[in-house]
């Protein structure tokens, strides 16, 4: 019997969602292909705690080749987190991987759901990248999407696929737009992981532009709380923003990280790459009203947690 199915279950967010679902008593099936975007050993470490739980079953499989509907006999909530992540890598010949892993894989999940006639709901992990460059201020869910990267295009297209399956087959699909997620287990390619690694080893931090980008940093445990709530709410909206609620200039975030780590900050400025939005800022009023979503972890606290988890070292405040 299965209460929840999580795709991308060995990843940064997926592995922590699995643990939260197990903690509340769910019977969970996790699926992950161990795509070589980053080392499989990192993902296997993410799985260690959950695999000790008898209510967890893990399947290593490619969503385009696996009959996912065999996991739907008990009408679980499907949390679809599997994706090809990263804005900067989505250009050129690598786009085919984004089309496959973000769009075709989502279509496979939706098709399996329709064939099974059983999932209670599909909760899809989308991205703030669908907004791209927006007018100043917080982006609402009804803002006109304007992605500025191929990655953002694929995440928006997958949202549209979900709406299409809902209208045509009555399949309940809810998309959650994540804003700049950070925290323990963050992928090696992501910004704070790279910044922490540089600080730890005394290297300069590589910063695109002058560090004036505005980002709505969101701690991973808050994102997991939003995911669980979206799987529980009786009549969800089709889209929710999940953000930290207090956007910060990147240069200020780096100053906080330097302060938390007790390491001097040296920056090397690089040209801005294509595809980076100037600002991300979530209007979370809908999620607050309908999901009870309230970000709990402030940036300083979250960066301290990631520093310790990633390096095994204490923060400057705890020394």
Active-site positions read 151
Q: Which of 84, 125, 152, 120 is nearest to 231 (CA)?
A: 120
Q: How far apart are CA 250 and CA 83, in angstroms?
A: 25
Q: How far apart are CA 189 and CA 186, in angstroms?
A: 8
Q: Are 252 and 154 in contact (CB under 8 A)?
A: no
Q: How far apart are CA 45 and CA 82, in angstroms?
A: 17
End-to-end CA, the chain: 47
Find all residues with CB under 8 Å of 246, minimum gap 6, and list them.
216, 295, 298, 299
Asked whether the CA dihedral 194, 45, 67, 118 is positive or negative, the reply is: negative
């Amino acid at each position: 019997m299965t209460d929840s199915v999580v795709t991308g279950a060995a990843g940064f967010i997926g592995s922590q969602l699995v643990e939260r679902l197990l903690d509340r008593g769910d019977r969970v099936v996790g699926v992950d292909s161990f795509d070589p975007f980053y080392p499989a050993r990192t993902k296997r470490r993410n799985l260690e705690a959950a695999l000790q739980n008898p209510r967890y079953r893990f399947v290593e499989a490619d969503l385009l080749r696996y009959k996912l509907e065999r996991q739907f006999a008990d009408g679980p909530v499907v949390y679809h987190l599997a994706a090809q992540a990263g804005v900067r890598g989505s250009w050129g010949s690598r786009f085919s991987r984004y089309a496959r892993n973000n769009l075709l894989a989502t279509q496979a999940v939706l098709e399996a759901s329709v064939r099974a006639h059983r999932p209670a709901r599909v909760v899809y992990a989308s991205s703030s990248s669908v907004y791209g460059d927006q007018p100043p201020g917080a982006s609402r869910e009804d803002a006109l999407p304007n992605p500025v990267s191929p990655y953002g295009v694929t995440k928006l297209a997958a949202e549209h696929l979900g709406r299409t399956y809902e209208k045509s087959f009555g399949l309940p699909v809810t998309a959650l737009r994540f804003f700049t997620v950070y925290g323990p287990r963050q992928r090696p390619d992501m910004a704070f992981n790279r910044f922490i690694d540089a600080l730890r080893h005394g290297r300069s931090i590589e910063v695109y532009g002058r560090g004036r980008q505005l980002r709505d940093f969101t701690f991973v445990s808050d994102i997991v709380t939003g995911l669980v709530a979206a799987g529980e709410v009786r009549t969800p909206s089709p889209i929710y923003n999940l953000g930290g609620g207090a956007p910060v200039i990147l240069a200020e975030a780096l100053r906080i990280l330097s302060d938390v780590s007790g390491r001097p900050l040296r920056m090397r400025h690089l040209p801005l790459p294509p595809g980076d939005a100037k600002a991300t800022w979530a209007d979370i009023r809908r999620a607050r009203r309908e999901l009870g979503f309230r970000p709990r972890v402030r940036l300083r606290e979250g960066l301290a947690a990631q520093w310790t988890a990633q390096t095994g070292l204490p923060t400057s405040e705890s020394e």
